[in-house]
Structure 1
Amino acid sequence: MSGGQRLEGKTVVLAVTGSIAVVETVRLAHELRRRGAVVQAVMSAAACGIVHPDALTYATGREAITRCTGMVEHVLYCGEGGCADLLLVAPCTANTIGKIAHGIDDTPVTTFATTALGRGMPVVVVPAMHESMYRHPGVVENLAKLESWGIDVVPPRIEEEKAKIAGIEEIALHVERALLGRPLAGKRVVITSGACAEPVDDVRVLTTRSTGQMGRALALEAYRLGASVTVVHAGHVPCVENVHVETAGEMMEAVLAGVGKGADYYLSAAAVSDFAPARAAGKIPSGAPVEIALRPLPKVLDAVLRIFSGTVVAFKLGWDEEARAAAMLDAGVAMVVVNTPPAMGAAGGEFVLMRKDSRRTVTGTKEEVAEAIWSALL
């Protein structure tokens, strides 16, 4: 199980209710299957009025359940010893949220939910409704009740006065998080990612070709494994706290604040600027040679090591970097990941995972490398 197949061997019951967001469930079913899951759709009558059951039968490769019969489908999947590993209610209307919160069973979806909760299996609920409905005190109270029972509620996107269903990737990540055992539950992780940009003048910047793919992969893997994750970078990663910075100085400030709040892990995956130019006012005129003096910048990693007692993972980019990596291990870094410049901006490559007592080469996508790094740390 690696890369995109994190749900291999898992059966997910996709329970669908009568929100217009049900039109997204065909894509959702396909995404869960791409990640390795077996998907069984269950539909309320209201959902069937918006999307025909044949659409989800096609998307899942299994006949959609539209009523509970003498085959007691809810027990076969979600009862004691049932074959399902997780119940995903997506989309979940305000009506269904209220029914689940009060143990009301009058649709196939609510019957599956009561059975799953009684068994104690993982349940993920994905609300979708108008924003005013989402703010209703009863709905707020019912969602809080579901969370108090251990149900994972995936926050909606608030757009156009609607609490729209979360994105497909976010929902799939919540499913993976619920099914992968959460070995990092209760742990806080700070990750730096991507490139920094140092101003040359009011228009130009000095930067690198780093795309942030490695940092993103590390952050999503940590989230899947149950951690509370903060990413310090210029981009956006779903399901985690994003702290936006541009320069190395801003990154230094944000990282020290992050690790100072009780973090357990710091992973330095960003291509932090080694130099910064003296910024020119306005725009340097074009058409003539220009000399730009570069001043060296303090190392974020060195500053972290002075104040942080948690687990530190560093990245070294270049050829023949293993001797320098060994010195970093002596300085207190738990692991150094060594790779070469061709990996920058690429989907994958060859990486060497160095620890004081071991050395391992990993070749694959950055998602696979991130999985290997976290596996080695746990």
Structure 2
Amino acid sequence: MLEGVNVALGVTGSIAAVKTVELAHELRRRGADVRGVMTDSARGIVHPWAVEFATDNEVVTEITGSVEHVELCGSDGWADVFLIAPATANTVGKIAGAVDDTPVTTCATTALGAGTPVVIAPAMHEPMYDHPGVLEAIDTVAEWGVDFVDPRVEEGKAKIATEEAIVCDVARAAGNRSLEGEHVVVTAGATSESIDPVRVITNRSSGKMGRAVAKACYVRGADVTLVQNGEDVPYADVREVESAAEMLAATREACEDADALVSAAAIGDYTVQTSGEKIRSGQDDLTLELEPTPKLIDEIRAARPDLPIVGFKTETSGGEAAMVGRARETLERAGLAFVVANDASVMGSDRTRALLVHEGDVARYEGTKTGLGGEIAASIAAVLGRDPDGE
């Protein structure tokens, strides 16, 4: 996600600075090169040696005649993005007022003047975060194009955002924005049909593929709505659903103003009449009457005839030619942009093998689901008439 990206990491005097070492490790695990910049207050919480160890680079703790701020964040500087995590109320206010009295605020002013992307992850007590002056400073800086990673407000504190949220926003700020301004709806994971208050009919889908697509679209600048029965994520507006009917209703609503839909969810093909009470075990003869569920892509196509839709086709038998044939049937029936065909054996895995079946050609992919999500996001950009390279 951050391969080849240079991240200057500013650390200020919030107690959340204790998380800086792990954040630096996570940025590097995602492919980034990282260099630290610290205020004096931050040095009282975490030692520069720890940040140096985490980044494998010397840490800037003062601005000298070497003009470290220009070398890092100037017009021809080393950094592709300046990340301040954590950022205190004091630091945000200083940035809004162009006050340069720490290495971090000096780097911020330089980055803003040079057009280097800036990402800020605030962390402070909740009353400080709610102060009118702090909120005004955040609004001011955001109007200049700075991306803020919203804190997690809990236990009376505006806690620093999760590492995943910060990494995603850094990638979004520093990378290809080929989907900026587009609204992409993604469905993900399995649906569950209630048999009784205890039992359900479901399938083995983990939702990893759909979430990988949602994340890749977000990183490319899209506003993403994720319709799923699964974990909350920081990179999308999540609509939590359970049954096929709920997923269809939520997707139909989300698609009213969507620019594209990726139907990656493994939606149950059948539902049952739900019993209001638990069905007692030990019955010798029990029959469930299965009723077919509506096809989501057909329903959305009827409502939005011109909406670009990406379908997924999962098979358990047949060779590549058979998979392509079935994918093309779906492609033509519903007028899809393209279909991603894969084998059911990849369900739940972090890796996948897939065929991207377009009207005129087939592209083969083998690797991580994260990587395939990026390929799908690039193809969506092309379908929407955007340059997939963001140039």
Establish whether TM, by shorter chain, passes 0.5. yes
Q: Secondary structure at the match of 2:268?
A: coil
Match of 1:328 among 327, 330, 350: 330
> In the alignment, does 2:200 pair up with 1:205?
yes
> In the alignment, does 2:344 pair up with 1:349?
no
Q: Secondary structure at the match of 1:273?
A: coil
Q: Secondary structure at the match of 2:234?
A: coil
Fraction of identical pairs, as percent:
48
Once residues 70 and 241 of structure 1 are traced to their aligned partners in structure 2, the CA distance between those partners, rounded to angstroms, is 46
Once residues 377 and 114 of structure 1 are traced to their aligned partners in structure 2, the CA distance between those partners, rounded to angstroms, is 36
Code of the aligned partner of 1:315 = F
Match of 1:376 among 355, 374, 379: 379
Once residues 275 and 9 of structure 1 are traced to their aligned partners in structure 2, the CA distance between those partners, rounded to angstroms, is 46
Match of 1:306 among 302, 307, 311: 302
Give the corresponding residue for 2:242: 246
Match of 2:24 among 23, 29, 32: 29
Question: 2:301 touches 2:307 (CA, 8 Å); kept in 1?
Answer: no
Question: 2:7 touches 2:83 (CA, 8 Å); kept in 1?
Answer: yes
Number of residue equivalences: 372
Please, what TM-score do these two structures have when normalized by structure 2? 0.93
Once residues 206 and 10 of structure 1 are traced to their aligned partners in structure 2, the CA distance between those partners, rounded to angstroms, is 44
Deviations 1:177-233 (A, max 9, x none): 011121100000101110111011121000001110001100000110000000111
Once residues 347 and 9 of structure 1 are traced to their aligned partners in structure 2, the CA distance between those partners, rounded to angstroms, is 23
Q: Secondary structure at the match of 2:64?
A: coil
Code of the aligned partner of 1:324 = R
Give the corresponding residue for 2:79: 84
Give the C-alpha shift of residue 343 in structure 1: 1.2
Give the corresponding residue for 1:317: 314
Give the C-alpha shift of residue 281 in structure 1: 2.6
Question: 2:214 touches 2:235 (CA, 8 Å); kept in 1?
Answer: no
Once residues 17 and 281 of structure 1 are traced to their aligned partners in structure 2, the CA distance between those partners, rounded to angstroms, is 56
> In the alignment, does 2:169 pair up with 1:171?
no
Q: Secondary structure at the match of 1:145?
A: helix
Give the corresponding residue for 2:3: 8
Code of the aligned partner of 1:264 = D
Once residues 75 and 368 of structure 2 are traced to their aligned partners in structure 1, the CA distance between those partners, rounded to angstroms, is 38
Once residues 8 and 244 of structure 1 are traced to their aligned partners in structure 2, the CA distance between those partners, rounded to angstroms, is 32
Once residues 331 and 311 of structure 2 are traced to their aligned partners in structure 1, the CA distance between those partners, rounded to angstroms, is 9
Question: 2:2 touches 2:171 (CA, 8 Å); kept in 1?
Answer: yes
Give the C-alpha shift of residue 237 in structure 1: 2.1
Match of 1:361 among 360, 364, 380: 364
Structure 2 residue ranges without an equivalent (≥5): 382-391
Once residues 161 and 345 of structure 1 are traced to their aligned partners in structure 2, the CA distance between those partners, rounded to angstroms, is 37
Give the C-alpha shift of residue 372 in structure 1: 1.6
Code of the aligned partner of 1:53 = P
Q: Secondary structure at the match of 1:259?
A: helix
Give the C-alpha shift of residue 324 in structure 1: 2.8
Once residues 274 and 202 of structure 2 are traced to their aligned partners in structure 1, the CA distance between those partners, rounded to angstroms, is 14
Code of the aligned partner of 2:155 = E
Once residues 237 and 270 of structure 2 are traced to their aligned partners in structure 1, the CA distance between those partners, rounded to angstroms, is 28
Q: Secondary structure at the match of 1:69?
A: coil
Give the C-alpha shift of residue 346 in structure 1: 1.6
Structure 1 residue ranges without an equivalent (≥5): 1-5
Give the corresponding residue for 1:278: 273
Q: Secondary structure at the match of 2:245?
A: helix
Alignment of 1:205-224 (within 5 A): 205-224=200-219
Q: Secondary structure at the match of 2:110?
A: helix
Give the corresponding residue for 1:3: none
Q: Secondary structure at the match of 1:350?
A: strand
> In the alignment, does 2:107 pair up with 1:104?
no
Code of the aligned partner of 2:185 = V
Give the C-alpha shift of residue 279 in structure 1: 1.5
Give the corresponding residue for 1:138: 133
Match of 2:341 among 335, 338, 343: 338
Once residues 241 and 3 of structure 2 are traced to their aligned partners in structure 1, the CA distance between those partners, rounded to angstroms, is 37
Match of 2:55 among 51, 57, 60: 60
Q: Which moved more, 1:146-155 or 1:273-282?
A: 273-282
Give the corresponding residue for 2:152: 157
Runs of 4+ in 1 over 6 A off after TM superposition: none
Q: Secondary structure at the match of 2:339?
A: strand
Code of the aligned partner of 1:375 = A
Once residues 151 and 238 of structure 1 are traced to their aligned partners in structure 2, the CA distance between those partners, rounded to angstroms, is 18
> In the alignment, does 2:313 pair up with 1:291?
no
Deviations 1:343-371 (A, max 9, x none): 11122221111010110111111111111
Once residues 199 and 4 of structure 2 are traced to their aligned partners in structure 1, the CA distance between those partners, rounded to angstroms, is 50
Give the corresponding residue for 2:389: none
Give the C-alpha shift of residue 321 in structure 1: 3.7
Code of the aligned partner of 1:196 = T
Match of 1:180 among 171, 175, 179: 175
Once residues 337 and 154 of structure 2 are traced to their aligned partners in structure 1, the CA distance between those partners, rounded to angstroms, is 43
> In the alignment, does 2:128 pair up with 1:125?
no
Q: Secondary structure at the match of 2:312?
A: strand
Question: 2:75 touches 2:116 (CA, 8 Å); kept in 1?
Answer: no
